[in-house]
Amino acid sequence: MSVLKKLAALEYRDPGKKVAVLAATWLFIFSATTTLAQSPPGSPPAEWGPVSINLEEIPYPYPVQFLHRTLHGQDVRIAYMDATPTAPANGRTVVLLHGSSYYSWYWENTMKALTAAGFRVVAVDRLGWGRSSKPVIPYDVNLHGSNVMAILDHLGIEQAAIAGHSLGGRLGSSYAHIYPDRVTHLIMVNPIALNNSDRGRMWSAPSAGVPEPDLQAHYAANLRQEQNRIVNWKPEYMEHVRIRYGHALSGDFHRLNLVRSMNSHLTALPVDAFWPSIQTPTLLVGGAEDGPNYPSTAQRAVDLLPNGSLVLFPNVGHNPHLESPDLLNAEILRFLTD
């Protein structure tokens, strides 16, 4: 039923509601018009150009450092930011792990909140992502975990809290399982693959395996993916679409797709196979609007954790650190300081 037909029906049932309904209707129309005005373009802007798969042209909020390692006979470098406290230091460190479609710099707001509370923050670009190398080598959870621990060893950090978003949260749980003496707290922000059927958001490239990607289709798929992760859209989220679209214009796009496809099995181990053995204090936190039945799915997953707790924000989607950073940062700080 159209808005006008609904209005007529309500007027017929209760003429006294006419003013209120009219106000609500015009508010709806105004909101819809505003939303349309802020809606992303249907095609990629003409000024968008190539973006390096190593993000050399993308600014990071803190200086980027590199840990050099030799893995499977290849020399690689793993990028990370090491942010020092801006308030009196509390002697504690938080490691931030990014999601499957992203990079460490999108943690900027959370990094500022944590350093302002006295924490040292190490935000890592996982090998194969961000400014880290993209080697064609066998990838697995142990390799990624050893890279994180190697960075901590290099920095002289014995223990740290781990906070990860999406795939980063799911991997963080594996690190807490593999390195229980080194992970003091585990924070999973909208982690993927909570069902053993792997219904979570696995990484997928719309143009994977296509010699010459259909750029319009690639743009549309990445825009739709980004919109599906957000409840209240803002123009600033287009930067993530621009970066992924720009990768498709890069000469190394197919290498990036190959490396990402080699990481697609990282959540294959069912959570009920190891979560019950994680004794680390754990917080699963994030947006409640993260796909069908996410609250109940998250609750069932948290029930597997001996020391787990769940906090979900209504009307927030998969990326709460972008959509509602103040809510998320407050909850992270509460958990770390309780």
Tokens of 321: 């650190």
Dump pLDDT digits (tens) for 72-128: 999 999 999 999 999 999 999 999 999 999 999 999 999 999 999 999 999 999 999
**pLDDT of res. 65:** 99
Dist. CA 336–CA 283, nearest whole Å: 10
Max Cα–Cα distance, the chain, nearest Å? 78
**pLDDT of res. 212:** 63
How much is the average pLDDT of 37-41?
A: 75
The class level of CATH for 64-337 reads alpha beta
Instruction: Name the one residue in this structure whose structure tokens are 């900027």.
Output: 108
Dump pLDDT digits (tens) for 190-207: 999 997 544 334 444 434
Query: Does the pLDDT of residue 334 top 50, yes or no?
Result: yes
Dump pLDDT digits (tens) for 207-232: 444 456 799 999 999 999 999 999 99
Helices (H), the chain: 3-13, 18-38, 108-116, 141-155, 167-178, 215-228, 238-248, 253-261, 294-302, 320-323, 325-337
pLDDT band for 335, please (50, 70, 90 cuts).
very high
**pLDDT of res. 268:** 86
Instruction: Name the one residue in this structure whose structure tokens are 């319009």.
Output: 216
What's the chain's average pLDDT?
87
CA–centroid distance for 45 within its chain: 25
